[in-house]
Chain A
Amino acid sequence: MNSRVANKIATGVFTAIAAIIIFVLVGLLSYILYRGFGKLTLDFLTSPSSDFQAGGGIGNQLFNSFYILLITMMIAVPLGLGGGIYMAEYAKPGKITDFIRSCIEVLASLPSIVIGMFGMLIFVNLTGWGYTIFSGALALTIFNLPVLVRVCEDAIRSVPRDQKEASLALGITHWHTIKTVLIPSAFPTILTGVILASGRVFGEAAALLFTAGLTTPRLDFSNWNPFDETSPLNIFRPAETLAVHIWKVNTQGLIPDVQEVADGSSAVLILSVLLFNLLARWIGSLVHKKLTAAK
């Protein structure tokens, strides 16, 4: 029968498509890890990068990436949680809520380079700070906020209604219910979402080009005074992250070992993102087991 043949062909085509997708991912990952694995020495991971000579590491960039991630999350998570609570608990259906939803949609769909330019306009030029970690973190907060608001809103909404009503029926105020009932039971889901968002922030480069800058000053890792110029903890210094570093060495690099540095950096970046992903999954399944009492 003709339709049977067509059916078989179609099944074959769809299976081939699935195989292509899997092949692309496996190819990408194994290529990056295979190329980069040999470079992942302790020396490469900890020594500072060099601008002209071969043999530079990515120590500062790695530190900057994690530090910017930390600062971003310190600003973005409370804001995202607040926005999520508002949308899930306080927002009444109407024009204002619709408008906030549209705003979230717009923020989520903005190209990251546009967010970077806005960050440069406000947090770099208008404030007069110049390229700083803090400007970068604020730009990344805008980049990240819509995702976090959605994650928190969904997490709070997915808490069983009975729990909330039981608390309200006991005469506990709305805010106290949110604080002591809703947030604790939504916490695992929120945490999973925050970790996944961290992976996104960790690999972001375009929003940081014009806000955190392309350079890192000499850092003295024995100086932990956050107000000192050479201290790694100073948030008002320029900082080049790992993702930005990969872009920079590839497009305007002057060092002879561009390939090696880029290989190693990409492997570190991918491994970190994989780690974030696995961590999120692991926490998710842990919580699922706990909540559903399945073994």
Chain B
Amino acid sequence: MAKEFSTASERLLKKSNRAALKMEMRGKSIVLISAILIIAATISITIFLGTKGLQSFLVNGINAVEFLTGTVWDMGKDGGNGPSYGALPFIFGSFAVTFLSALIAAPLGIGGAIFMTEIAPSWGRKILQPVIELLVGIPSVVYGFIGLTVLVPFVRNHVGGQGFSLLSGMIVLSVMILPTVTSIATDTLRSLPGGLRESSYALGATRWQTIYRVLVPAALPGLLTAIVLGMARAFGEALAVQMVIGNTKELPSSLLDSAGTLTTIITLNMGHTTYGSVENNALWSLALILLIMSFIFILIIRYLSSRRQYR
């Protein structure tokens, strides 16, 4: 008779009251539902954007190659040659502002991180850390607004052109992604084993030699991750860029030219086009490009983190 339950835990479970077990099951199912919702949201976003984004090619018969390489984006409302959907100017604009802003933000962000970890760890951390956290918190529309009221007139008066330009967009974005780059670069540098530094100093290397011969190479995958995450943020930013870049549909020929990006054309036209129409579907295809790009950024980050030596 006593052989009915083999292990102590089973006996305990049998004896403990059934209400507690029921609670256990209920609790577990609540958290399971939350987890399932996260999966469901991700999958449904991918599926819905995928099907909506492909409609312009499958239903409306837009040629995918022409879509990606064409330079004329025209709804065909003003007469002329009829509608043409060439998204190259926007794709180019998105990549241009992303790379250009990374070009500014990467040295500044990594430099700031090195300052915080290597040069002035005590007060650098006390001052720069809160500064970075506050910069992260500033909403993107505020960046756009300052860009519009300060940067655009400044560029117009002192550099040239209209002011609404690739240059303005790139500066606004670089300030926006600076905190992202800095904080991740700081984490990476801090996670390096202290022995690296000490052995370099013990060999008589100066601080600069230690930084660029030892620390930066050792932290390189992490630093690149910081830059890629910053670029991912820049690529998807909509309103701040839209307010300063000038929103043209032509390919820019210089930094001072107005331009457009994938996000700006979506922001501007999504509300004005009829749901299900060709031009609306073309905008969804642009959104699909944004989605695919964020998958690509994730893949790059995964690749980089697999190459990290120190965690």
Contact = CB atoms under 8 A, between A and B. Distances in A.
A205 B41 contact: no
Contact of B138 (A7, A28, A78): A28
A202 B138 CA distance: 10
Contacts of A58: none
B12 interface: yes
Contacts of A105: 298
A206 B238 contact: yes
B49 A118 contact: yes
Nearest to B12: A171
A111 B270 contact: no
B145 A246 contact: yes
B294 A106 contact: yes
Given A21-B112, A106-B298, A113 B238 contact: yes
B21 interface: yes
Contact of B119 (A14, A100, A199, A276): A14
Nearest to A251: B243
B36 to A, nearest CB: 9
A22 B131 contact: yes
A104 B52 CA distance: 22
A146 B295 CA distance: 16
Given A18-B128, A250-B145, A176 B119 contact: no
A225 interface: no
B82 interface: no
Contacts of A112: 236, 238
A145 B41 contact: yes
B175 to A, nearest CB: 6
B39 A99 contact: yes
A287 B38 CA distance: 30
Select the residue from B114, B267, B295, B297 with max chain A CB neighbours within 10 A.
B267
B112 A205 contact: no
A293 interface: no
A21 B182 contact: yes
Tell me the interface secondary structure of chain B in the complex: helix
Interface stretch (B61-69, B83-91, B207-215): B207-215
Interface in A1-27: 3-4, 6-7, 9-11, 13-15, 17-18, 20-22, 24-25
Contacts of A200: 137
A247 B144 contact: yes
A280 to B, nearest CB: 9
Nearest to B116: A18
B158 to A, nearest CB: 17
A103 interface: yes
A32 B34 CA distance: 40
B45 A205 contact: no
Contacts of A259: 149
Contacts of A145: 38, 41
A110 B291 contact: yes
Contacts of B21: 173
A122 interface: yes
A121 interface: yes
A287 B35 CA distance: 29
B32 interface: yes
A83 interface: yes
B35 A270 contact: no
A210 interface: yes
Given A89-B31, A274-B134, 17 more contacts: A11-B208, A14-B115, A22-B128, A109-B297, A112-B238, A117-B266, A173-B20, A173-B21, A174-B27, A200-B137, A206-B267, A244-B141, A250-B148, A270-B142, A273-B139, A277-B134, A277-B137
